[in-house]
Homo-oligomer: A and B are copies of this chain.
Amino acid sequence: MNKEKPTIIKLEDIAKALRVSISTVSRSLSNSSRVKEATRKKVREKADELGYIPNQIAKSLISGKTGVIGVIIPRYDEAFFIEVCRGIDHYARKHNYRILISSSRNSSRFEKENIMVFEKGIVDGLIISLTHQTKSQTHLQSMANRGTPLVVFDNMNEKIEGAMHVRIDDYSAAYEAVQFLAQKKSVQTVGFIGGTILKSIFNKRYEGYKDSLLSSDFSLKEEFVFNCKSMHQVHEYHEIYNFLSKLNQFPNAFFCSTDSYALLCIKALSKLGKRVPEDIQVVGFGNLHYSRLFNTELTSVSQPSFKMGEKAAELLLSKIIKGAYLPSEKIDELILPTKLIIRNTTC
């Protein structure tokens, strides 16, 4: 049985093989002009021959940089977050950075735990979307204070000093989407389906909805407003179905604070014998690509998820690379534009 443990090659091995010093090997491989071209070549060849792979950990210990960005999202099974991660990855990769994704599972305990792991120096910076459980804000704040570059995207609670924020204008986006509905002759009432109001983005979308209704001289009917409490799609469906089935009368349209609420709403409505958009129109929020898979394509507020990731990464890396404590242009909030995409669930 061949049990020889594959040995891992280091600079020292190359140095010994060539009877030169480790520093010469190191400098050769980084193409320093301090070593003669002939030697450099010899070293490169020997390195290839032995299959040398530099040890990133040792490099990191010296440079203080790991080449990794930490990302914390509330859940994996929401396409929006994955899309943002794609954007982060796309930008990061161009700058030779990797991403370490963690889910906080919508719990501040896990969030805190993840942050603590990242603080041990395995990432050069952090991009995070906060859960609605606010408690760990102090952790983030102290991380920012300690000088770790930090970008918060999507949901946030209160401002974190020293962090950068990338977001959309949830209030206005919702306001306009509801305006779009309210201006239709066929629409007299608009309902709302959203998530927990503890989450600030959901709350803002709700406020936008409310103010939009009021400014159109519509009345806000509490019975047409529903906020899901659970965090799992199957349960959410039942909550929504339950809510809708108890309605004696239906609004002409629903504005939903995410695409998945919208889809679940449509599903429940059709179960209840209502047609979309003929009987009831539905507008979602997010414009996620999976909604393309559906028969009836969803009218939705398009949120630039991928771009949001890219921008978050851009801000973060600019800080990481420049050094967090050099004076920067101090872009500490970036608001990306949204757009209502009209498809087949409105008419």
- A residues apposed to B, CB below 8 Å: 3, 5-6, 8, 51, 53-58, 60-61, 66-68, 76-77, 79, 82-83, 85-86, 89, 98-103, 117, 119-122, 142, 145-147, 233-234, 237, 260, 263-264, 266-267, 270, 289-290, 292-295, 325
Q: How far is the CA of A121 from the CA of B325 in the complex (A)?
A: 29
Residue among A51, A67, A117, A145 with max Cβ neighbours from chain B (10 Å)? A117
Q: Hey, which chain B residues are within 8 Å of A6, CB to CB?
A: 145-147
Q: Could you tell me if A267 and B295 are in contact, using CB atoms closer than 8 angstroms? A: yes
Q: Could you tell me if B100 and A293 are in contact, using CB atoms closer than 8 angstroms? A: no
Minimum CB–CB distance from A309 to chain B (whole Å) comes to 10
Q: How far is the CA of A79 from the CA of B77 in the complex (A)?
A: 8
Minimum CB–CB distance from A107 to chain B (whole Å) comes to 12
Q: How far is the CA of A54 from the CA of B116 in the complex (A)?
A: 10
Q: Give the 10 A-B residue pairs with the shortest CB-CB distance, closest first.
A: A56-B120, A263-B293, A6-B147, A76-B86, A6-B146, A57-B60, A55-B121, A56-B122, A57-B61, A270-B295
Q: Could you tell me if B86 and A292 are in contact, using CB atoms closer than 8 angstroms? A: no
Q: Could you tell me if A292 and B120 are in contact, using CB atoms closer than 8 angstroms? A: no
Q: What is the chain B residue whose CB lies nearest that of A87?
A: B76
